[in-house]
Amino acid sequence: MRLVVLALSLFAFSAAASPAPREGWSVIETDQPYQALVDRVKEAAKANKMGVVTEAGPTEAAAARGVTIPGNRVIGVFNNLFAVRMLEASEAAMIEAPVRFYVTEQPDGTATLSYKTPGLVFSPYAGDSPEVTAIAAELDAIFAAIATAATE
């Protein structure tokens, strides 16, 4: 039975498609290989004066257990200048930082870059202060620039 479940799980992973477009998300399919896109996101974040604050994904841990899954990486990006401003505007909003990029490997070996826009991420806190919306708008532009640089 375990073998059947494992086989079905692997089939589901191998048949995975790009994340579906959703309201407030940016989904960019590329012709880049997975690791190249991961590296380019990190480089683009740095070039846009943002730091990679967190990074996580199940691919390597699964491989260590003998399970092969497509590349899957979440890259949390932020900058302390925005963190301090956001804390002043809404202490509660900081639970959303860092804002994350999501790199997923596709069955054909290419990778997709997805992210929730900062405007969407911070929208529940807009009532705390008008500054929340202003900061989110600045971050929207920076995240778009990072995504463009990483996917060109």
Specify which residues 114 forms β-bridges with.
Answer: 27, 102
Share of the chain above pLDDT 90, in %: 84
DSSP state of 66: T
Tokens standing for 19? 């994340």
Q: What is the pLDDT of residue 20?
A: 76
Q: Give the count of domains, the chain.
A: 1
CATH of the domain at 17: 3.30.310.70
Better-predicted residue by pLDDT, 12 or 124? 124
Q: What is the pLDDT of residue 17?
A: 64
DSSP state of 98: S
Q: Is the pLDDT assigned to residue 13 strictly greater than 50?
A: no
**CB-based burial of residue 135 (10 Å sphere; 0-12 exposed, 13-18 middle, 19+ buried)?**
buried
Average pLDDT over residues 11-31: 75
pLDDT in tens, 64-116: 999 999 999 999 999 999 999 999 999 999 999 999 999 999 999 999 999 99
| Among 97, 108, 100, residue whose Cα is nearest residue 132 | 97
Domain extent, residue 123, equals 2-151
Q: How does strand 99-105 pair with strand 72-78? A: antiparallel
Side-chain-side CA neighbours of 41 within 13 Å: the count stands at 30
Mean pLDDT of the chain: 90
Distance (Å, whole) CA 149 – CA 83? 23
Q: What is the pLDDT of residue 142?
A: 98
